[in-house]
Amino acid sequence: MATTAEFRPGMAIRMDGELWTIVEFQHVNPGNWRAFVRAKLKSLRSGKVVEIRFRAGEAVDIVRIDTKEFQYLYHDGSGYVFMDKETFDQISVEESVVGDGSKFLKETETVEIMFNGDDIISVQIPVTVELRIVETVPGVRGDTATGAQKPAKVETGASVNVPLFINEGDMIKVDTRTGHYVERVKAA
């Protein structure tokens, strides 16, 4: 157990049975009233951000979170299989833990997995990934001035709306948090 005096940004705590990280905090001493700590917390499971007040010196349960790099191997129907980049051990992670960004995971992609002991807390997929367009309708010349978009299927099977000038075989960058097209990747 620790107190609110030991708060640091990035620290993980357990509150109401759920794990949270401290995004930011502020010690407040309002004149002749009792001091308190205003903290912005982010849920490690859902990503939800809340603002909570703690009494100054209140005891909190600090949790040690380990983060390791893993390489995505394949989807086995019941979960996603990842390999530890150091020990080459393989683990299977449930789809609910991986989240919506899983539809943009391609084989050999590096992710960070957060652990509390042996429990998997979350899987951090890269913010942007480069994917090849495998299927889309051809764009009509001259239609690019309107900023219109068309659906395209990427190599992982996900569907992304892209500008009309994107063709099959092009490499694009996709934001895994929103599923939106970011930019076309130039061939090396």
Task: Express each pLDDT in 46-73 by its tens digit.
Answer: 778 999 999 988 899 988 888 899 999 9
Give CATH 2.30.30.30 domain extents, the chain: 2-63
Reported pTM = 0.73
The secondary structure of 49-98 as a DSSP string is: EEEEEEETT-EEEEE--EEEEEEEEEE-SSEEEEEETTT--EEEEEHHHH
pLDDT tier, 137 (very low <50, low <70, confident <90, very high otherwise): confident
Alpha helices in the chain (DSSP H): 95-98
Q: Give the span between the Cα atoms of 138 and 166, in whole angstroms.
A: 8
CATH topology of domain 66-124: OB fold (Dihydrolipoamide Acetyltransferase, E2P) (2.40.50)
CATH superfamily for domain 128-185: Nucleic acid-binding proteins (2.40.50.140)
What is the pLDDT at residue 102?
A: 86
Kindly indicate whether the domain formed by 2-63 is annotated with CATH number 2.30.30.30: yes
What is the pLDDT at residue 65?
A: 86
Which of 6-15, 111-120, 139-148, 164-173 bottoms out in mean pLDDT, i.e. has the lowest?
139-148
Task: Express each pLDDT in 141-178 by its tens digit.
Answer: 665 566 788 899 999 889 999 988 888 889 999 998 88
